[in-house]
Structure formats: structure tokens, C-alpha cells
Amino acid sequence: MTTGTAAGIPAREYHTAQVHYMRKTLNASADNATQRLVGVLPAGALVLKNISGAYVRTPAFDAGTVLNIGTSTSTSKFATDLSLTLSNVFTAVLEQSLDPVQATPSTVYAQLSASGSIGSAGVVEVIIAYIADNDL
């Protein structure tokens, strides 16, 4: 088991120069108001804000359901209140104010939040794309 990361999960860093990513599926009925682990970013990772975000699959979530993507210390570091009410739509975190370079390994979490009671429908894919600091 790898040590030094949340739950012993190692940061994903390939040995070749390529874009890395993490992907996590969240469901309305199972994941409301619960922080779900997406993955671990390695130190020095550069998050690609224009291709990181959320893709809402069919069916869409009920009105008032939003998504936050962040870390254990900053629950909305990467995305704050992304709307999930339109299906087949990708929303990038490009608009979010974010320092894209991670100084230390960062454990990424996603959390659904509903302003009222959340319905049983709704599936979202959380995607974090990044470039590892692997200067050759």
C-alpha cells in the first residue's frame, strides 16, 4: 500500500509525456451530500481548466442540484456550484478562479448538493485533466 496519500491511493503519474486524467461517476440517488473521492493529483500537476469539469448524462438532475469539486481543505477549489440541470452538457471549470499548479499532492473530491430534496434521476461524470510535472 502506498503511504503519504489519502487512503493509500497513489497519485497517477505516467512515465511518458501525456495528458493525465481522473474520472468519477456520481449518481443522484446514491451520492447526494457525500464527498466522493475522485483521485490524487501529484505535486507540481498543472490542472487543465478548459477540459476539466462535469458532463451531465441523461437524465439531468432536478432543479437546484449543483456540484462542487475540491480538496479536503477547500471543498470548492476546482468548481463551485456547477449547475447539473441540463443533460448531455459538459461544463468546464475554466470560469473558476483557480491556481492550476498543485504545490503538493492534492486529494480531489466531488460533492453533489441539492437545494431541496434530490430526485432519484441524474448521473454526472466528474473529469479532472492535468499535466504531471515530469520535465525530461
| Helix extents (H) in 1-136 | 28-31
Distance of alpha carbon 123 from alpha carbon 126, whole angstroms: 10
pLDDT for residue 93: 83
State pLDDT tens for residues 36-63: 999 999 988 888 888 999 999 988 888 7
Q: Is residue 52 part of a domain?
A: yes
pLDDT at 22 over 80: yes
For 48, the domain range is: 19-131
| Helix extents (H) in 21-124 | 28-31
Percent of the chain predicted with pLDDT > 90: 31
pLDDT at 103 over 60: yes
pLDDT at 9 over 50: yes
Indicate the number of domains in the chain.
Answer: 1
Q: Is residue 14 part of a domain?
A: no
Q: Is residue 8 part of a domain?
A: no
Q: Is residue 13 part of a domain?
A: no
Strand partners, 26: 124
Q: Which residue has the cell 456550484?
A: 81
CA 98 to chain centre: 13
56 versus 8: the higher-pLDDT residue is 56
What average pLDDT does the segment 93-105 reach? 72
pLDDT at 67 over 80: yes
Q: For the chain, what is the total number of helices (H) and then of strands (E)?
A: 1, 9
pLDDT at 111 over 60: yes
Q: Is residue 6 part of a domain?
A: no
pLDDT at 4 over 90: no
Q: Tell me the average pLDDT of the chain.
A: 83
